[in-house]
Structure formats: C-alpha cells, structure tokens
Amino acid sequence: MGLGANLGDRMKNLDRAVEMIGGDNRIRVLKQSQTYETSPIGLAEQPVFLNRVIEIASELMPCGLLKVFRRFEDELGRQRDTENGPRTLDLDLLLYHNWIQYSHSLQLPHPRMVERRFVLVPLVEIAGELRNPHSGNSLSACLDALESKGQEVEIFRG
C-alpha cells in the first residue's frame, strides 16, 4: 500500500499511519520502504509530498481494508474538499495479491500505480519482483519504462 502526506508534520503523519495500521489486530506491517520526497502531480500549487510504501498482511478483503484506511485518514485530519489536493494523509491500496477489481469504490491494481515514480520507486525497493496483474511485467520493468518521464523522486533526508 502507498502512503503520502503533504500537510502538517508529514513524517509524523506517515509514521503515525504505519503505527495505526500495525496496531489494528487484523493487519500486520511486513516491510516498509524508505521515505521519498516528491512534487505534487495534478494540482501543482501545493506543498511537496512525502511518500512511502508498506507491505501488509491482513485477513481483511480489499473493501474492508479500504474502510479501515479511510478511517485512519479521517483520524489524522484528511479533508476531501479538493480532488488531488493537499492532505495530511493519503492511504492507497496498490495491490492485493494478483487481484483485479473494478468497482465504484476500489480499483485493483491501483489504476495509476504504473504511471507514478513516487509509487513505483518505493514499491520496487521492497517488492520489485512482483508483477503487474494487468501486463504481467515486473514492477521493476514498469519503473524502467517510466525513467524517461522525469518525475522527481528523492530520498527524504529531513
């Protein structure tokens, strides 16, 4: 899953989110990437983001995880008044095994995952051998395909 924040104490928000996720007895945090600083995409007039990816194990199905994640976002002050706007916390379910799902509330794999270096760089760091269920390509190959698009992603040294 992907985590992002660009409002408030960004690092504290990401760390708190990982604590909250791991504190739910139905979810275990298995791996965690480094934290990366990235420019916003879409609405450019907003603060830069910190992004991280974690691998989790859970007994919850994807829609159940989504409900838990939305609750955690709300608890950390997420406002949903501007699409792609600034946020204290953004939690995205990127992959769920090889599951492919299209519904109003959830699409798996995440529909823009392979278009965004700020997702793929930390995802490849912890799980580069995984494959995109749509294409069958490794996530490392998906990242290689993005290298020419120039999205800046730097390890956060805060």
For 54-73, b where at least 16 C-beta lie within 10 A, e where not — what string?
bbbebeeebeebbebbeebb
The one catalytic residue in 10, 52, 90, 117 is 90
The one catalytic residue in 92, 112, 117, 131 is 92
23: region left, alpha or beta (phi > 0 left; psi from -120 to 50 alpha): alpha
Helix (H, G, I), strand (E, B) or coil at 153: strand
The one catalytic residue in 52, 87, 116, 117 is 87
Annotated active-site residue 87? The verdict is yes
- Give CA separation, 2 vs 82, 93, 148, in Å: 20, 6, 22
The one catalytic residue in 78, 80, 117, 157 is 78
Annotated active-site residue 81? The verdict is no
Annotated active-site residue 78? The verdict is yes
Annotated active-site residue 74? The verdict is no
| Active site amino acids | 78, 87, 90, 92
